[in-house]
Every structure is written in structure tokens, then in C-alpha cells.
Structure 1
């Protein structure tokens, strides 16, 4: 199978050759995979790296003097070295490995909360957050007696920035906002959000689970304090995530979990903690996923996020136009700045029923509330059908989706 080198121009046909699952059929139909917001498919380079790890490197990391352990440790730490320029972090030790975005946010809510949040303090989130960026802050507020403030959105799915600026103040201890909405595709004005928070003395956490695979992210240019994403959404393995944190915050916060690796010295009288990043990486990590995430980062970097963004924007515009040509279609989320998500409803039909028909045609979409129940409540709907686009999708995929929705309309309306 041909491997991706650095591409001078985006060639979707060439990219698709690297994803073996895209050649399979579902229910006797060619697979049209439009559930990339939930997880992305894996290129052969990542699949090969997983096999290579278990056949050539398998060993525990950071603790062994033997050859395999040293090889595994080196491969694991290569990923951290590659993630630093991928995010433009200042230091490698600002990159913390987690199980995913959810654990990364929980880590910050727990550790930052213990150190800096007291009764009467305020945590600011938005109405479009994933449950993973709601529940940890609710738990913190309950534990500490803090107050959760929620920034509303308009009908298009855009943050009310006037309310945001009026809300952030001297009691604000954290602003936690999604970079890109998983349910609407809205790209939030994160630089402005960060600047407003910093002017009030509050740090910012960005949930970037739907961002880093679609557009370039520079944590230093943004001046963001924390940023989290998941490996399986960037064409890498499941079970690995990344938390970026500014050195000053990571040093100031207590550890998240106790155990091996996160310690420097242990006695029954006292324990001292390890230096960054190991202070937050207790126990044996998901070594295979950590090693292989580097190959996914290499893959994205070789193709180029700017080229990926242009291709996906073209598909987003095409999908939006074609879907709106179907009578009864309502698109939920029409922000001026959007990433590659189209959420829609078909008349009064329940999203699940549309999804079942599409599945019979080999088309994979997501239906339901997308772990954003408060957002669905804001629109007064049970959920949506969500088509989420990746770099390997094509206009032919969109045409198949539209034909499937038209068939559903003929059957259900």
C-alpha cells in the first residue's frame, strides 16, 4: 500500500488508499463513514505501528534497564516530543498523557479545583459544552461550594459574547470552553475568550477534541492555560489523550492520582512527587497507544492541517447546500464560523429513524443528543442527525448521504 509523503496538494483519492476500512461494505453497500466526530478511522501507518509495537517493542516504560524497556521508553517519549511542535507548546513537559479528553478535563477540574477554587468562586462554561466539560465542573462546584455560570448561545449556535464579557469577573476562577462544538460545528472565538478571561485574572481550559484534527492550533499564540484532546479523534488509537498545561499551573497544582511513576521518594512518613510531566502520569500508561499516536501526528503533519481544513470546508459547504435542497430539512447550527459538522432534522421525524435508514444504505452517521443534552434542550429538540466530515471524505460521500436522506423523507414524511 502506498504511504503518504508530504503532499504538495491535497489528493483525497490518495489519502483514502491509506485507510483500509474505507474499502469495506456495510449491509451490502460501500461504506460511507460520516461519524468522524465520534471517532476517526486509522491509516495503515498507525495500524502497522500498533502491530510493530507488540511484535518488536512490547515492554514497560521508564522503569527498566533492559533493552526492550529502553526502546519502548524512547518510542513513548518520541510522541511527547512530536506533540510539542504540533501544539507549539513551550516545553515537552507541558504535555501530559491521559486516557482522553474526558480524563484530561477531570484532571484539571480536580487538581486546579483543590488548589484554587473556594466557596463562592465561579466557573464559567457555555451552553454548547459536551457533558465531559459540564459534569466535572458541576462536581467541583458541589464539592467546593462554587457557582457554575453558563454563557448562552443565539439561534445560530454562537456564543453571546456580550453576556460572556459581563459574566467574567473577579470571582471567576476558570473559564472552560469548547474550541469547536461537537454537536453544531461552531468554531468559538477562543482568542477573544482567553483575552477576556486573562484580563479578569482567570485561566482558560479549551476542549479541543473537535479542533486539532481540523485546524492548526498554537497554544502559545492563543496564550491558553490548558488544552485537551483525544488520540482516537486525530486518526490515532483509542485510550490515549493529551492535556497541555502551562508549566506554572502544572507545578502549582497537586497530583491527580497516586502510585508508581508520579513519585520521587516514598516513605510511610512522607511522599515527594516527581517532576513534570510524570507528576500527573501515575501507573503504567497505555504504552501502545502513546507510541502509535506519534504516527498519527506525523500523518496529519505530512498532509498539512491547512490543506485538510480547505478540503473539509469545501465538503461542509457542499453538504449544507445539498441538504438544504431537501424539503423538510432543518440544519441545527448555522454559525458563521463552522468546522466540518452538519447536524440536521428531517421534518418531525425522530433522528434515530433517519439514522437507521441511512445505516441500511451503508452510511454511518450519529443520532441523538451527542452528549450535549442541555444544548438540545436549548433548541427544544431530542437530538439531531449528525454528519461529521473528515479529510478522507468526498463529494460522492455527501451525494450518498443526500440520496439516503431523500429516501428517508420518501418513507417517513
Structure 2
């Protein structure tokens, strides 16, 4: 090894080896050359916590802590400066440590010494005994390039020992929706001893996520599994602190059953997950039969009671979401007659049927007239002569008679 040299940056140098044998024959071997590269790695950023790309100020456990950072192929967060980084300065491996003070070299790794983690862009340390409360800890990450230049970055610090979690939460949504291209998601009620940091929403056609740990899904390391299988209709989306979001450009199947998922994450990285099952119904209810009279299919009905009108219906149905409500209203129409009497004013019953998805149909009954008059008795006689009622008949098989609805004196 030769040291004490004063080589110039970006100059190409060759190593020469001269060999002399016993016959005093000499020849020289030359290497393929090496270029001196003094450019350091451009520093990036370290995030406390296991959520990729998010920096947590509080980690929940005193015995288990995590961090993540920008990974291979470089260590540069600012994409505008990536071009400035030479191609030979790609990261070869990382070392990670945990300490109590990032200002001094000795306190950057006094909790966990520098540990080589290869090209991984995250790390978790176990079996620690950190002090909860006001104590602050820091992650320090070293990146080594192929030319063994080093970039060192520390996190902004974190506390540990938070004992809590995200609880509650409810999705404000019906059991049926009437659209197959979008889904409105509204929720409320998540609570935590810390502030809620962000929410995630997703959509699937199965309930395979029930009972699993929500931390698996807000950690970007499993995004391929999350998107391709678990949340296979709409992938997990970070909606910040909004509590309402619309999933659009969907192709839901009419009659299909789906699951909305909401994950809330607090400032410690703890999370809570809830879901809601719903069915798509894009068709209105099926028509049945309606009448405001004594029988169905009447062209005109009458009522003798001016304070009560009985309405009957049958065979209204909805095979997907069932009937939710019936609504009845009474309408007074303009009279077709010129007498001006109240009993000649036609009334119509309007009937509205709504299913559980909010779709409805409307139907009107045939006109109803108010008629308080009673029937007038007529005359019925045995035989065929109203003036002389027949008493005796010559046949035991046939007896004839006549009637008129209104009696007049024919004598």
C-alpha cells in the first residue's frame, strides 16, 4: 500500500508492476486504471417510525423502535439534485445506529451501535429498554458508496413509551348504494390520546382483511400485496386528515357486495381499522298494483266518506335491496264537470315506493269521486207485467221476473 500521495480529483491513475526474474529479464504489468472520485454522497433524510416517508415524533414501544429512509439507488431525497450525483457514487450499503444526542460522535450510537443493514431502506431494533417520557432518541444512518465515500444523516428525534392506541370510529354509509361508478366514504369517531395524523381509505370485494394488523397496510413495504389482493377494487389511499372522500372511476357490479376500509393513524404510528359492508343496487323497485277503491283495475272509484280514504297496494318488490319506505299523498284535480258540486271533484292518490338504495318509483291511482248519496230502491215483480204481479207459474223449471231501479207509477 502506498500512502502519503497527493492525487488529483477525477484524474485516471494506473498501477505499474515491474517484474525481474533470475535471468535478469524484466517486464512491466499495468492495471486497467482507477479514477479518483472525491465527490461525497448527497445527504437525504431519515424518518423516525415504521411508516414509509412519514416522520413520527412518538414511538409507542420502549422495547421496539423503527426508522426508514430513502434507499437504493441513491441517498438523495431532492430529485432536482439527483443529476448532480455521479453514477459511481451509488450506495453500496447502510449502517444504522441509535443514540441520545446527535450533536456528538460518541452519543450517536450509545444506545445501539452502528449496524450494517445492507441496502435495506428501513430497520427495526428489538429488546431495548428505553426511557419513556421526556427522553429523546435519534437514529443515525450512514451511507457508503462504491468508492467508500460516506454520507451521515440523523433523524430529528423521537420519544418512546406512549401507552394508548386508536379506538372507535364509524363509517356513515347505508347498506346499499345506487351507483356503480363512485362511492362516497364519510366517517367519524376515531379517538386517541394523541392527535390523529392521517387517514387511509380503500375498497375490496372480500373481507379478508378482517382481524389483521392495520400496521401491515400503512407500511409501504407490503404495497404490492395490499393493492393486488387485499384492497383489490380501490387501493389504499392516504387522504390526510379529511373525513370524507369519494372513490371515482369504479366499475362495480350491480348486485355485488363490497367492503369499505378506513384506517386512522395517530402521531405515534398506532392505528385503528374499521370496515363497512354494502351492496350495489342500481335498479328501482318493481311496480305492483294500487287502488283507492274496493277493487283493483278500476277506471273510476267512489267513496261515501269525506274524512277517510282507504288505499290498498300489492306486489311491489325489490329483489336486490328490498323496499325501504312507502309514501302516500292525496291530490285534488280540476273537475271535469260544470255543476260545481263538491262531489264531482276527482281526487287522485299518488304512491311513492323507495328501496333501500334510495331509488324510487311513483304511481297514481284512478280518479276517486266523493258520493254521499245512498242507492234508491226500485221495484221487483214476479212475472213480466209490472201492473199485474204474477202469482202462479206453469213451469217448475223457469220463473221469470222483472225489475226497474227507480219506480214510476205506470197506472
Shorter chain as denominator, the TM-score bin is under 0.3
Which structure is larger by alpha-carbon Rg, 1 or 2? Answer: 2
TM-score normalised to the size of structure 1? 0.18
> Between Structure 1 and Structure 2, which shows a larger proportion of helix residues?
1
Whose RCO is larger (CA < 8 A, sep 6+)? 1
> Between Structure 1 and Structure 2, which shows a larger proportion of strand residues?
2
TM-score normalised to the size of structure 2? 0.18
